[in-house]
């Protein structure tokens, strides 16, 4: 027993504490750490897995996941897929962004990318690659994703319109190729998928606002890639788009002439990409009347798509040349006509594009065929040699009456085209030329040429003789004689002017000279007949004539 008496010799015993105060510090630290762990655990986001083709540029606990350049997570693990065709990236997403993990979320790796159509991700040359995510808080929750092979062309949240495009032609487009409207870039291709069964390509495209308001149910899309040089029956046409479509593929769109604007389309509306503006415009015609032409001449220059015209107005086009279902036989047969199928559209003939309009067109053409409607191939352009089908009324046409039908097609009779007519006329002219006596004509021409040659030689000889004669003339003597005559004439005139013989005296002298010439004229005549009469008398006897010797 312990007492409190100070005079007592007994010690006072007091109890001591079993726990040292120094342990308070680690306890407090442990509590804080536990609270932090609990807070971190309760506030951390979910783990997600992302399938990538490769892990290029991705690092554990370093590569971030970003939405609009804001970090919302980090890569925690990288592993190979069981089938070895890619990698699985495990990432922790912040709890504040967990509501974005749904079926509409998309992931892709942002890295430096340089291609023919774009340059992107250059900022990652310094900071390094990262995984970007498109934010969308609508949709069913999802924690496993397949990353895109490339960044989406259209940034998430961009206002505009997504459309689906289809093409079965040779031209193809890749993500990033432009969509042009009147020279302005208004959208881009986002993705392309080839359907093996249908053998067509489907495209996802995006039209930016406010240009998406131009897309209606009557809008048509067509190709404007590069430079198109077409040799058509009407001539040579060159089509180009913008500078951007000269370097890469691209399309444009519009509403065909004469077609109403139509209603605006909804998201992911479906359209077809046509070869050109003409094909896009003709796509509005839904019904057409089919006819058959049996051509006995050459169809060189006639192509599928060539126009069919009536009085210069295009009302259809050629749909097939020598197609198998048209008629039986083959081109190697001597009397085999080449079948040409054509379409005539009621809409192009100012008729309703309906079954009623089609019936009206067929009835009108049937009446014309019974009378005088005929088809001919005409040359649309001399440079290209392209042909087109011209429907015309031919008076007194052969075969008028009943309309012929072959394999279900009404046949439009044909007449020779102008080229064949020119050929026939040329053949007739050549036949007439062949009937001419060309050998005799050539021989006569040769003789005429020889005579002309001889005449030319004679003229040359005469010219030479004349030159020699001119050279023989004494020019000085002739000049002297002329000078003497001129002097005498000058003296006579001077004498006359100075009071010499006047006109009456000269006339009297001339009259006297004439009388004297008349008087001596008998004498001159006699001297001319008998020059010796002045010497011998007239009675001189007869002249002795020699005689022959007598036998």
CB-CB contact of 76 with 94 (8 Å): no
- Dihedral angle computed from the Cα positions of residues 480, 483, 485 and 486, in that order, rounded to the nearest 10 degrees: 180
**533 phi and psi angles, rounded to 5 deg:** -70, -25
336 three-state secondary structure? coil
Strand partners, 48: 91
**505 phi and psi angles, rounded to 5 deg:** -65, -40
Prediction pTM value: 0.55
Q: Running DSSP on this structure, what letter comes out for residue 548?
A: P
437 three-state secondary structure? coil
| pLDDT recorded at residue 85 | 87
**Rounded Cα–Cα distance for residues 85 and 179 (Å):** 35
Q: Which two tokens stand for residue 498?
A: 């100075």
Residue 446, classified by CB atoms within 10 Å of its CB into exposed (0-12), middle (13-18) or buried (19+), is exposed
440 Cβ neighbours under 8 A, 6+ residues apart: none
**Rounded Cα–Cα distance for residues 388 and 380 (Å):** 6
Whole-angstrom distance between the N-terminal and C-terminal Cα of the chain? 243
Is the torsion defined by CA of 316, 322, 326, 327 positive or negative?
positive
| pLDDT recorded at residue 297 | 84
| pLDDT recorded at residue 163 | 94
Helix (H) or strand (E) holding 364: helix 355-371
Residue 246 to residues 228, 279, 339, Cα–Cα distance (Å): 10, 21, 39
Q: Which two tokens stand for residue 127?
A: 């900071």
| pLDDT recorded at residue 386 | 82
CB-CB contact of 534 with 541 (8 Å): no
CB-CB contact of 179 with 186 (8 Å): yes
Read out DSSP for 250-317?
A: -EEEE--TT----PBP-TTEEEEEESSHHHHHHTT----EEEEEEE-S--TT--TT-EEEETTEEEEE
| pLDDT recorded at residue 1 | 47
**Rounded Cα–Cα distance for residues 293 and 404 (Å):** 11
79 three-state secondary structure? strand
Strand partners, 391: 310, 375
**Rounded Cα–Cα distance for residues 306 and 311 (Å):** 16
Geometric angle at alpha carbon 125, from 123 and 131, rounded to 5°: 70
Tokens 């997504």, residue located: 162
Length of the chain as a residue count: 551
pLDDT by residue, tens only, the chain of 551 residues:
445 555 556 666 666 556 667 777 888 888 888 888 777 776 678 899 999 988 888 889 999 999 888 889 999 999 998 888 899 999 999 888 888 888 888 898 888 766 555 555 555 656 678 998 887 777 788 899 998 887 777 776 788 999 999 988 777 788 888 898 988 889 999 888 888 888 889 999 999 999 999 999 999 999 887 655 555 555 555 555 555 555 567 889 999 887 888 899 988 899 999 988 888 888 888 899 999 998 888 888 888 888 999 988 999 999 998 876 667 767 777 778 889 999 999 988 888 889 999 999 999 999 998 888 899 998 877 666 788 999 998 887 666 678 888 888 889 998 876 555 555 566 667 666 777 677 777 777 888 888 888 888 887 787 777 667 666 655 566 667 677 777 776 776 666 555 555 666 667 777 777 777 776 676 666 666 665 555 555 555 555 555 555 54
């Amino acid at each position: 027993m312990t007492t409190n008496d100070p005079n007592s010799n007994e010690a006072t015993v007091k109890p001591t504490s079993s726990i040292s105060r120094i342990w308070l510090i680690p306890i407090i630290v442990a509590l804080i750490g536990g609270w932090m762990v609990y807070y971190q655990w309760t506030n951390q986001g979910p783990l997600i897995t992302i399938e990538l083709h490769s892990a290029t540029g991705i690092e554990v606990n370093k590569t971030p996941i970003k939405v609009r350049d804001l970090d919302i997570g980090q890569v925690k693990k990288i592993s190979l897929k069981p089938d070895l065709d890619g990698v699985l990236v495990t990432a922790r997403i912040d709890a504040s962004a967990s509501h974005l993990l749904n079926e509409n979320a998309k992931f892709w790796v942002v890295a430096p990318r340089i291609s023919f159509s774009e340059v992107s991700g250059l900022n990652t040359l310094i900071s390094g690659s990262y995984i970007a995510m498109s934010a969308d808080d609508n949709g069913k929750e999802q924690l496993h994703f397949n990353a895109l092979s490339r960044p989406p062309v259209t940034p998430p949240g961009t206002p505009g319109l997504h459309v689906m495009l289809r093409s079965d032609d040779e031209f193809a487009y890749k993500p990033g190729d432009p969509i042009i409207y009147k020279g302005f870039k208004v959208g881009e291709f986002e993705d392309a998928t080839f359907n093996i069964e249908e053998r067509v390509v489907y495209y996802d495209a995006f039209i930016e606002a406010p240009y998406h308001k131009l897309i209606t149910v009557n809008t048509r899309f067509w190709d404007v890639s590069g430079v198109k040089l077409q040799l058509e029956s009407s001539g040579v046409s060159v089509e180009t788009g913008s500078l951007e479509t000269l370097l890469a593929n691209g399309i444009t769109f519009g509403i065909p002439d004469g077609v109403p604007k139509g209603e605006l389309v909804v998201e992911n509306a479906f359209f077809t990409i046509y070869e050109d503006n003409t094909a896009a415009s003709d796509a509005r015609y839904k019904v057409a009347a089919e006819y058959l032409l049996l051509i006995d001449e050459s169809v060189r220059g006639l192509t599928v798509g060539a126009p069919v015209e009536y009085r210069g107005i295009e009302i259809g086009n050629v749909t097939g040349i020598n197609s198998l279902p048209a008629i039986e036989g083959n081109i190697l047969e001597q009397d085999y006509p080449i079948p040409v199928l054509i379409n005539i559209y009621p809409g192009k003939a100012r008729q309703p594009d309906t079954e009623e309009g089609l019936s009206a067109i067929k009835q009108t053409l049937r009446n014309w065929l019974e009378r005088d409607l005929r088809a001919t191939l005409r040359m649309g352009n001399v440079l290209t040699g392209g042909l087109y089908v011209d429907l015309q009324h031919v008076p007194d046409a052969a075969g008028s009456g009943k309309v012929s039908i072959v394999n279900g097609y009404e046949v439009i009779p044909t007449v020779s085209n102008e080229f064949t007519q020119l050929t026939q006329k040329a053949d007739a002219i050549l036949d007439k030329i062949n009937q001419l006596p060309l050998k005799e004509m050539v021989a006569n021409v040769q003789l005429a040429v020889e005579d002309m040659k001889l005449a030319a030689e004679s003229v040359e000889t005469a010219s030479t003789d004349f030159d020699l004669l001119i050279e023989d003339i004494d020019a000085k003597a002739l000049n002297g004689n002329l000078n003497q005559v001129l002097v005498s004439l000058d003296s006579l005139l001077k004498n006359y002017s100075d009071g010499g013989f006047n006109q009456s005296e000269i006339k009297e002298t001339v009259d006297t000279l004439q009388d004297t010439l008349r008087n001596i004229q008998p004498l001159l005549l006699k001297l001319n007949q008998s020059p010796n009469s002045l010497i011998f008398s007239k009675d001189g006897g007869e002249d002795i004539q020699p005689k022959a010797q007598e036998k």
